[in-house]
């Protein structure tokens, strides 16, 4: 064999061992066994170009590498969306979220009928999620009821996980049928070709959160499992760019990935850019008037607007009227529903993680 031809064949073989494209039938290569080594580099969605170094850092979880989400691997064929979540969890849980339909889905997981966790979503409202816990080899796949943000139903799919306390290099894998994701004539791939996704590690108990998310959260994650996290970053991938209603074949999944904000990056501290009072900062609650104001922030977060008197005593909370536009109002009543005396009061913007504090003086008159 000619020497040049030999090296060309060797180079092509080397490329094939690293790169792969979506195909008609990948069931012979992607085995759902809880190990993601059958996914190729361009199917690992958090790898820098050229495909080598990971965008997901090993030390970005508050609880260390043994409680850390490390990678989302993804590809597809004509029948299935194949996904793997590389992670390690020590007596904890891993959840993968998939958002397809913008009109409904999870908004606040604490209100869900199952797997209640302290996560809120901004930019996504997941319609499906895959979840498991340390040492469990049978993950649960859940589908949100159409039009609901509260009710999810478990769906049987092929999945497997190998998470085991203290063991790295394990994964949760699933083959999700396209007919489960696109389940009737109103929910088709042609009309909803873009998939948004993210994954978290959580504590093992209801009503709590977790210390790590992939992709990285704009404001980071709390150092405990108690505080509520607003998950405001995600990756997005188009599976049907031609609009023919079938998944694109022969493409590299990694080349299709975009992010709300591309990791890695430094945490972005929440900042209240402005507080606008369209009717002024003086009102008479005794006459039925309300104080209305609008906040402008550099990013979304979970926070409250608290009311204090000039002595620093807590009075009550303002009410969020329009979350999308951050419109708030206060009716001039205290936490017990009684009208406050006239005088000066302080609005204090405080995030759930206590990272923000902004004071605005307002007046209640007769």
Q: Would you state the structure tokens that stand for residue 222, as one six-digit string?
A: 């709390």
Contact present, 200 and 124 (Cβ < 8 Å): no
Q: Does the CA dihedral 159-163-167-171 come out positive or negative?
A: positive
Question: With the C-alpha atoms ordered 184, 197, 295, 149, is the resulting torsion angle positive or negative?
Answer: positive
Q: In this predicted structure, what is the pLDDT of residue 17?
A: 45
| Contacts of 62-68 spanning 24+ positions with Cβ under 8 A | 62/211, 62/212, 62/221, 62/222, 62/223, 62/224, 63/90, 63/201, 63/211, 63/212, 65/168, 66/90, 66/165, 66/166, 66/168, 67/92, 67/201, 67/211, 67/212, 68/201, 68/212
Rounded to the nearest angstrom, the gap between the alpha carbon of residue 247 and the centroid of all alpha carbons in its chain is 24
Residue reference for tokens 């945490």: 267
pLDDT given for residue 18 in this prediction = 59
The pLDDT of residue 8: 41
Q: What is the pLDDT of residue 60?
A: 83
Fold classification of 272-364 is Immunoglobulin-like (2.60.40)
Q: Is residue 12 helix, strand or coil?
A: helix
Torsion-angle region of 10 (φ positive above 0: left; ψ -120 to 50: alpha; else: beta) = alpha
pLDDT in tens, the chain (366 residues): 454 544 343 344 344 445 789 999 999 999 999 999 999 999 999 987 766 778 877 668 889 999 999 999 999 999 999 999 999 999 999 999 999 999 999 999 999 999 999 999 989 999 999 999 999 999 999 999 999 999 999 999 999 999 999 899 999 999 999 999 999 999 999 999 999 999 999 999 999 999 999 999 998 888 888 888 889 999 999 999 999 999 999 999 999 999 999 998 888 888 889 999 999 999 999 999 999 999 998 887 778 899 999 999 999 999 999 887 899 999 999 999 999 999 999 999 887 666 677 899 999 998
What pLDDT was estimated at residue 260? 94
Residue from 206, 209, 205, 253 nearest 228 by CA: 209
Which residues make up the CATH 2.60.40.4070 domain(s) of the chain?
272-364
Q: Which residues of 130-169 are buried (b: 16+ CB within 10 A; e: fewer)?
A: bbbbbeeeebbbbbbeeeebeebeeeebebbbbbbeeeee
pTM (2 d.p.):
0.82
Predicted pLDDT at 194: 98
By C-alpha distance, which of 33, 129, 36 is closest to 75?
A: 36
């Amino acid at each position: 064999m000619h020497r040049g031809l030999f090296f060309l064949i060797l180079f092509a073989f080397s490329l094939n061992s690293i790169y792969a494209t979506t195909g008609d039938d990948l069931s012979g290569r992607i085995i759902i066994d809880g190990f993601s080594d059958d996914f190729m580099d361009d199917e690992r969605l958090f790898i820098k170009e050229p495909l080598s170094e990971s965008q997901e850092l090993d030390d970005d979880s508050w609880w260390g590498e043994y409680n850390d989400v490390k990678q989302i691997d993804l590809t597809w064929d004509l029948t299935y969306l194949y996904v793997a979540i590389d992670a390690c969890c020590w007596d904890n849980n891993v959840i993968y979220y998939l958002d397809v339909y913008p009109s409904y889905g999870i908004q606040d997981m604490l209100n869900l009928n199952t797997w209640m966790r302290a996560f809120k979503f901004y930019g996504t409202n997941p319609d499906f999620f895959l979840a498991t816990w340390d040492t469990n080899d049978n993950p649960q796949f859940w589908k949100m009821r159409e039009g609901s943000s509260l009710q999810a139903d478990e769906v049987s799919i092929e999945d497997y996980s190998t998470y085991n306390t203290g063991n790295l290099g394990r994964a949760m894998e699933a083959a999700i049928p396209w007919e489960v994701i696109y389940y009737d004539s109103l929910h088709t791939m042609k009309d909803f070709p873009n998939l948004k996704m993210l994954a978290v590690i959580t504590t093992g108990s209801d009503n709590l959160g977790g210390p790590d998310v992939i992709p990285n959260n704009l404001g980071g994650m709390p150092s405990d499992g108690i505080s509520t996290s607003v998950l405001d970053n995600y990756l997005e991938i188009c599976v049907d760019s031609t609009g023919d209603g079938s998944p694109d074949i022969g493409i590299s999944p990694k080349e299709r990935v975009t992010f709300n904000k591309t990791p890695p990056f430094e945490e972005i501290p929440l900042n209240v850019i402005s507080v606008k009072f369209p009717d002024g900062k003086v009102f008479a609650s005794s006459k039925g008037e309300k104080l209305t104001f609008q906040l402008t922030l550099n990013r979304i977060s979970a926070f409250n607007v608290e009311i204090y008197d000039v002595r620093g005593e807590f009075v009550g909370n303002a009410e969020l009227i329009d979350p999308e536009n951050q419109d708030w109002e206060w009716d001039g009543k205290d936490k017990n529903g009684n009208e406050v005396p006239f005088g000066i009061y302080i609005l204090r913007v405080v995030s759930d993680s206590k990272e923000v504090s902004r004071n605005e003086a307002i007046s209640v008159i007769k």
